[in-house]
Structure 1
Amino acid sequence: MNHLSRDQIAARVARDIPEGAYVNLGIGLPTKVANYLPQDRDIFLQSENGLLGMGPAPATGEEDWELINAGKQAVTLLTGGAYFHHADSFAMMRGGHIDICVLGAFQVSVYGDLANWHTGEPGAIPAVGGAMDLAIGAKQTFVMMELLTKQGESKLVERCTYPLTGLACVSRVYTDLAVFDVGPGGACVIEMIDGLGLADLRRLTGLSLAAQS
């Protein structure tokens, strides 16, 4: 079975970010989205550690380690960009000033519940960061993740079994096999990779998935 690479998932997410959007990219996989944003759109990237107007990752050897994102990765700042106090950044997030946040996840339910900070395993290090603030404060929450775990279990589930980050906060899920809308009516398949059918996705996830009409 073919799978989209992580870069291809990031590029797919970038296609759906509209002109003029204020966007937060979560730690890890979502940071790749910055490298694929359309050049003909003005999109403003915000980082919870206090940046607005981030650009793509710097070239190797051109990093400025006083300019980093929330995941401690070196970033660039576009013309007109700014950096400011951490508290002001969280005020943006909690005050509904972020149009879209893109987060990774351990699980997402078909109703849009998000679990992305802890697996519940004994000894696992919790890492909630600003995810709770973003998931609830942003106008839209997108998740990007691989659909299956290494053990072949679906991360898109009927009910989350991991500790929750937020309830009914996710609207769209981007994976290596398909894109899903999620919400009160359950999960709907928006698109699939070539060679994969709705029956295949139902079998892999164990869910009664609907298809976009």
Structure 2
Amino acid sequence: MPHGAGGGSDAYPSAWSVQTWVPGDTAHSGAHATSVSLAHDLAILILALRSVDPGGRVFDGHGRGGDLADHDEWVTQCLVRSRHLIDVGRATALWSTLRELPVSGPDVMSHRDLTPFNLLVDERGGETRLSGVLDGGGFGPADRALDLVAAWHVFDAPARQVLRDEVGAGEIEWRRGAAWAFQQAIGLGWYYEESNPEMSALGLSTLRRILADPELSSLV
């Protein structure tokens, strides 16, 4: 929670704020893959974010959360650069199908970047629990499937199913969530391969989960 905010100055031109400290460690794409407790907490979070009234607002057209096909040029570039990292043939075929999925409902309020690096977790009673969420400045209306990227970034299939069931995501919504995770992950593996190996590993882990998923594989 913010304690205060300030405007820019000659020394620091951007706005700034003083925030409370939230204990916890950032989540990891491999360390919590089977955590049902964390899947439960993330489902509660996503539903809580969606419960906020958008006030008639819709997606603003910036970044993710609108039309999947708007990202074709970027995804194509990333696929070319990822030939040494993933099965690009399968990935291309899957994206060609996912990008055509229809919207699954009206825009809802969304964090818009629910990656492991923005999730704080701690261990309580032998379970991994969500303790905080970072980088909420993009909170706003977007595709209701967008925050479901967390399922693919963090969890293996059984825990993903827990999150899906508790959020109540239907078939199209769930697949669009996978599409947004794909769009996000395809740019991480190659781009950060040398400069940020941990970020690169997140992208490749997410892509492997998507490409190995039986439901998604059946689409191509």
Same fold (TM over 0.5): no
> TM range, normalised to the smaller chain?
under 0.3
Q: TM-score, normalised by structure 2?
A: 0.23
Higher strand share: 1
Return the structure number with greater relative CO, CA threshold 8 A, min gap 6.
2
Higher helix share: 2
